[in-house]
């Protein structure tokens, strides 16, 4: 990122916020009515509803990017990837938490990431019903609302037994490693909650909880959340400790100490039964 000046970063982050706001303007009016639900065939998560709001919000964001940065690449949840020779790529999830949206719960969000050479450098999460956005980049992370912009920082280190953790969809923890990790989180943390999607990662960044983790994520599920967690002082790796995972098995933690204790327990115990998957 040495190539980009602080002014460029600031300008790109303001644009990322505008994208998320435009998506929210499209989605919010549709939230008050039960959405028309379409099911995607063959989705790995089994039930992956997509609403009209989702598609239209992605269209709006793609149009804005094409006008402002015609050479940038774009990947979204809903539409074909726009390939590009540019090192910049926008990764969009107009409506993360579609299940929450369908249920009428306010825990869905719009996620916008800007990648530079496949590394997420700017991330925005926004919940328009609450008029709250969260922005992250290398220099820090902030919460934004109508009243102002507040810097974020993660919780201080503490033993795993005192941590609060969150994961969505415990029912997709199916293979031996996944079931082991879910059991570790259930028994070794202070509390594990489910079904808040991207919000759990934002809660790590805002210093409310210590751990967010998920399995079988797509790039658009996590790309925007990495700069937010990292900008607030947290760490994001895959379940084997490799940084900045664009999907798959992901864990975000408040600090390296919490991450390390979690990762050490999350390894499958070695033994004759360790590959058992029944």
Residues that bind a second copy (CB under 8 A): 34, 47, 99-100, 102-107, 129-130, 155, 164, 166, 170-171, 186, 190-191, 193-196, 199, 203, 206-209
CA distances for 67 relative to 131, 159, 251, angstroms? 26, 49, 35
In the complex with a second copy, the residue whose CB is nearer, 90 or 142, is 142
Q: Helix or strand or coil: residue 49? A: strand
Q: Which residue has the tokens 């980049």?
A: 137
As measured in angstroms, the least distance from the Cβ of 100 to a second copy is: 8
Q: Are 210 and 216 spatial neighbours (Cβ–Cβ below 8 Å)? A: no
Among 192, 180, 162, 167, smallest CA distance to 257 is for: 162
In the complex with a second copy, the residue whose CB is nearer, 107 or 237, is 107
As measured in angstroms, the least distance from the Cβ of 147 to a second copy is: 11
CA distances for 258 relative to 128, 156, 193, angstroms? 31, 9, 17
Residue-level length of the chain: 278
As measured in angstroms, the least distance from the Cβ of 32 to a second copy is: 9
As measured in angstroms, the least distance from the Cβ of 221 to a second copy is: 17
In the complex with a second copy, the residue whose CB is nearer, 114 or 212, is 212
Say how far apart CA 25 and CA 131 lie, in whole Å: 11
In the complex with a second copy, the residue whose CB is nearer, 166 or 245, is 166
As measured in angstroms, the least distance from the Cβ of 39 to a second copy is: 10
In the complex with a second copy, the residue whose CB is nearer, 26 or 152, is 152
């Amino acid at each position: 990122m040495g190539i980009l000046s602080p002014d460029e970063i600031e300008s790109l982050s303001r644009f990322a916020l505008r994208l998320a706001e435009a998506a929210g303007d499209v989605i919010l009016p549709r939230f008050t009515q039960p959405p028309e639900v379409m099911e995607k065939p063959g989705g790995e998560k089994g039930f992956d509803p997509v609403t009209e709001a989702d598609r239209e919000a992605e269209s709006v964001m793609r149009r804005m990017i094409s006008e402002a940065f015609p050479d940038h690449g774009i990947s979204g949840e809903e539409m074909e990837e726009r390939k590009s020779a540019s090192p910049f790529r926008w990764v969009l999830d107009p409506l993360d938490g579609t299940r929450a949206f369908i249920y009428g719960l306010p825990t869905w969000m719009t996620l916008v990431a800007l990648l530079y050479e496949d590394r997420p450098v700017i991330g925005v999460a926004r919940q328009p019903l609450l008029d709250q956005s969260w922005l992250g980049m290398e220099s820090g992370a902030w919460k934004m609302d109508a009243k102002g912009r507040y810097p974020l920082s993660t919780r201080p280190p503490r033993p795993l037994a005192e941590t609060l953790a969150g994961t969505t969809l415990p029912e997709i923890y199916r293979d031996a490693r996944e079931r082991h990790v879910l059991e570790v989180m259930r028994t070794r943390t202070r509390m594990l909650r489910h079904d808040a999607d991207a919000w759990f990662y934002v809660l790590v960044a805002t210093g409310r909880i210590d751990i967010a983790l998920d399995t079988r994520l797509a790039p658009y599920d996590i790309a925007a959340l990495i700069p937010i967690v990292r900008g607030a002082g947290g760490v994001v790796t895959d379940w084997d400790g490799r940084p900045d995972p664009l999907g798959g098995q992901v864990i975000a933690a408040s600090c390296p100490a919490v991450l390390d204790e979690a990762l050490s327990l999350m390894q499958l115990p070695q033994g004759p039964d360790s590959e058992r998957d029944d």
